[in-house]
Amino acid sequence: MLTFIHLSDLHIGQDGDDVVDRDRDPRSELIDDCRRVAAEIDGEVSGVLISGDIVNSGASDDYRRAREWLALLCRTLDVPEENVWTVPGNHDFNRDGRTELWHKACDRLRECAVGEIDTHLRGYLNSQDRYVLLEPLRSYHEFAAGFGCVPDGPIQIWEEEFELGSGLQLRMVGLNTAILADGEETGKGDGLVLGENAVQLRRGGEDAFVMAMWHHPLDWLRDQEVAGRYLDARASVHLFGHEHSHCLNDEDNRLTVSAGALHPRRGDRGWEPRYNFLQFSAAGDTVADGLEVSVIPRVWDEERTAFASDGGGTVIQSHRFRIGGELSEGESEASEPSEDESAVNASSESYRDPEEQASGRVANRRRRLSLMYATLPFVRRVVIAGELGLLDESDREVAGFEQTRLVLERAARNGRLEDLWAAVALEPGSDEMGINPYASVAQ
C-alpha cells in the first residue's frame, strides 16, 4: 500500500519571517498529527505530495524555509527527504521575474483564439524564449529540481511511477497551471493556459492507474474544455488546490480531491487549515479490478488548537473509494487485495540492499542523489560537475535547475553516477546520503 501526505497552499512567508511567523505553530502541529495518524493507521508513509503554493511570493529564501520544514516532516515520519513531489501554484510565481518580453508572450497567450494557444505556447517552450516565459518560476524550479519535479523538455509535465504489486503501477503526473499566474488571472477562465500537449497523458493501459496533480481548478484555464476532456478520460485520480476549500467527488469512476489549504489567510472565508492522508492499493490483480483509495481528511480544531478529524473528534475518519474498476456506482465491497503489497517508485533505480528497500518503502537512489546535489551551493555544483567532466559549453545558456538535470543525465549516460555520489557525499551537510548504492551495483 502507498500512503502519502497531501498538502497544498503552504504559503510559507505569508505571515512574516521565522521570528513572527504565526503559521509556524500549525506547521509544527501538523507534524505531530501526521505522526499520530500514521501510527494509528499502521501505515508506513511513502512520501509527500504538494499541489502548489509552497511559498507566498516566489522568494528564494522562503523556499529554503519550506525545504527545511519538509525535511523535518520527512525525518519525523522516517520518510526519505527526496520523497516529495510538487507542482507550482500562483504564489510560486515571482512577479519580479516578468520582463517586457514576458508581457508580450503573456498577452499573446491570453488574447489569441483558444484554438491557437497550443501553437503559441509550443513556439515559446520549444525555443530559448522558454526562459523568458518561465523566468518568474525560476526560484520554484530551483526548489523543485531537487525533487525531480521539473519537466525535462518543453512540455510542462513530469511523471513518476510506483509499483502497487502484481505488476500494477500507479503513475503520477504533475502539471503546471501557473505559467501565466501573475495575479491578473481570475476564476472566469480568462488568464491561465495549460496546453493540449501537457494534458495528452499516456493512458494507464492494462497495467497502470493514472493520478494527475496540478494547482488551479480547471475552470481557471482558458483551455479548460480540452484539459477537462483529456484529464477526465485518462486520469483516475485528480489532486489540486488553490481555492482553499476541501472536497471529495467520486463521480464517473473518477476521484477528485481538492486539498484545502494548510495555511489559508486569516480572515479569508474563515481560517481552516487542512491536509489529507491518501492511501492507494490495487483492488485485485488487474486494472479491471480497480484502485482502492482511502482519503483521511484532517482539519484544524480551533478549540484544541490542533488538527483533528473532519467534523471534530479524535477518531480517525477514512473515506474509501473504488476507482477505475468495473463496479457500479454505490458498491463498496472490495475484492481480496494482491498478496504482493510492496510499493516502490521507479523500480529500476530502487535500492537493491533489502535494508534500504523494505516492503512498502519508496526508495530511489537517483532521487536521493538529485536532491543532495541540487541543494549544494551553485559554485560547488559547478566545481564537482567540472571535475567529473559532466559540464558542457552549452550549459552557460541554461538555467541552474536545468544544468542540474543535465549533469545527472550525463552522469547516468557516462557511467559516472558512483563518482558523482562519492563527490557529493564529501560535501558538508551530506552525512545523510549513506552508503553509495551505485558502488554496490558494481560489486
pLDDT at 273 over 60: yes
Q: Which of 265, 295, 323 is the last residue of a domain?
A: 323
In a domain, 354, yes or no: no
User: pLDDT value at position 440?
Assistant: 61
User: pLDDT value at position 16?
Assistant: 72
Q: Which of 267, 297, 323 is the last residue of a domain?
A: 323
More confident residue, 237 or 15: 237
Tens of pLDDT along 412-440?
999 999 999 999 999 987 777 778 888 86
In a domain, 332, yes or no: no
pLDDT mean over 175-192 = 89
Tens of pLDDT along 76-86?
998 988 899 99
Domain total in the chain? 2
Tens of pLDDT along 17-40?
777 788 888 889 999 999 999 999
In a domain, 423, yes or no: yes
In a domain, 400, yes or no: yes
User: pLDDT value at position 362?
Assistant: 66
In a domain, 351, yes or no: no
| Averaged pLDDT score across all residues of the chain | 85
Task: Pick from 251-255, 376-380, 438-442 the range whose average pLDDT is largest.
Answer: 376-380
In a shared domain, residues 308 and 372: no
400-413 and 378-387 helices cross at what angle (nearest 10)?
A: 30
pLDDT at 351 over 70: no
pLDDT band, residue 269 (cuts 50/70/90):
low
What share of the chain in percent tops pLDDT 70?
89
In a shared domain, residues 280 and 375: no
In a domain, 313, yes or no: yes
pLDDT at 204 over 70: yes
Angle at 260 between CA 331 and CA 144, to 5 degrees: 110
In a shared domain, residues 66 and 168: yes
Q: Which domain holds residue 412?
A: 364-442
In a domain, 353, yes or no: no
User: pLDDT value at position 99?
Assistant: 92
Q: Which of 272, 292, 323 is the last residue of a domain?
A: 323
What is the distance between the alpha carbons of residues 269 and 19, in angstroms, rounded to a whole number?
A: 26
More confident residue, 441 or 368: 368
User: pLDDT value at position 338?
Assistant: 38
In a shared domain, residues 393 and 304: no
pLDDT band, residue 74 (cuts 50/70/90):
very high
In a domain, 350, yes or no: no
In a shared domain, residues 90 and 146: yes
Tens of pLDDT along 292-332?
999 999 999 888 899 999 877 778 888 999 987 654 343 33
In a shared domain, residues 319 and 390: no
In a shared domain, residues 287 and 436: no
Tens of pLDDT along 101-146?
999 999 999 999 999 999 999 888 888 777 888 999 999 999 999 8
User: pLDDT value at position 24?
Assistant: 87
User: pLDDT value at position 237?
Assistant: 95
pLDDT at 443 over 50: no
In a shared domain, residues 22 and 77: yes
In a shared domain, residues 71 and 220: yes
